Amino acid sequence: MQIEDWIPCEMGDLFERRSEDGIAGLPIMSVTIDNGLVRRDSLDRKMETNITDEEHLLVRKDDIAYNMMRMWQGSFGLAYEDGLVSPAYVVLKPTKRIVPAFAAHFFKHPHTLKQFRDFSHGIADDRLRLYYEDFAVIPTQIPPKPEQTRIASFLNACDEQLRILQEKTELLCLRREGLSERILSGKLRLQTSDDECGEE
C-alpha cells in the first residue's frame, strides 16, 4: 500500500480526550521521553505529590498519555495497564479508527513531531504547550486498520530485537570490564592463543 492510499483525517478523529477522575489503588504512572509511560516507582528519581489518587487522571489500557509541554519532543506513552497520571497530562482515548500500538510508533515519526511542535503554543520552546483542542485539529493520514496492525507488529518486533541486542551488549561490556580488571591486575594470564585465557 502506498502513502497515497492512506486516509486523510484529523487527530481528533482518532483520539478523544479522557478526563475521568482517578481510582484509588491504581498505580501512578509518569510519561518519559525515552521509555514512554512507566510506573512512577520504577524511576530513579523520587517524585513526591500531595494530590490524592482521585485527583489524578484515569488512564486506561491502550490510552495514550502525553506531557503538554514536551509532546513535540516525543514525551508520551501507550498505557499497557490501567493507572493514574498527573492532571497536567492529557489522556487520549483511541477511537475505532486507530490501532493504539500503531499510533505509538506514528507519534514518534519526525513529521508528526514537527506537527506537534507547529500546533503547540508558547513564546519559547520551554513554554510550548500542546492542548487537546489544538492536537485534535492536526491534519494527518493513516492507513486502514489491518495495515496499521501489520505495521505495528513489524515495528514492535524490531524493537524487541533491539532490546535483546542491547541486553547482550550490556552483558558483554560487563564481562569485558571484569576481564580487563583481572588481566590488568595480574590475576588472570592470557594463554598463547589470543582468544583463550586462563587463571594462574
Q: Where are the domains of the chain?
A: 3-143, 148-191
Confidence band, pLDDT 50/70/90 cuts, at residue 3? low
Residue 181 pLDDT > 90: no
Confidence at residue 31, expressed as pLDDT on a 0 to 100 scale: 94
Residue 61: DSSP 8-state: T
6, three cell numbers: 492512506
* Fold of the CATH domain 3-143: Adenine-n6-DNA-methyltransferase TaqI; Chain A, domain 2 (3.90.220)
Residue 20 pLDDT > 80: yes
10-33: average pLDDT = 95
Measured distance CA(29)–CA(66) in Å, rounded: 11
Bridge-based pairing state of the strands 188-190 and 197-199: antiparallel
Measured distance CA(173)–CA(171) in Å, rounded: 5
Sign of CA dihedral 26, 27, 29, 34: negative
Q: What is the mean pLDDT of the chain?
A: 89
What are the pLDDT digits (tens) for 97-145? 999 999 999 999 999 999 999 999 988 877 899 999 999 999 999 999 9
Confidence at residue 200, expressed as pLDDT on a 0 to 100 scale: 46
Measured distance CA(189)–CA(61) in Å, rounded: 54
Q: Do residues 106 and 112 make contact, with C-beta atoms less than 8 angstroms apart? A: yes
Residue 16 CB neighbour total at 10 angstroms:
14
Residue 80 pLDDT > 60: yes
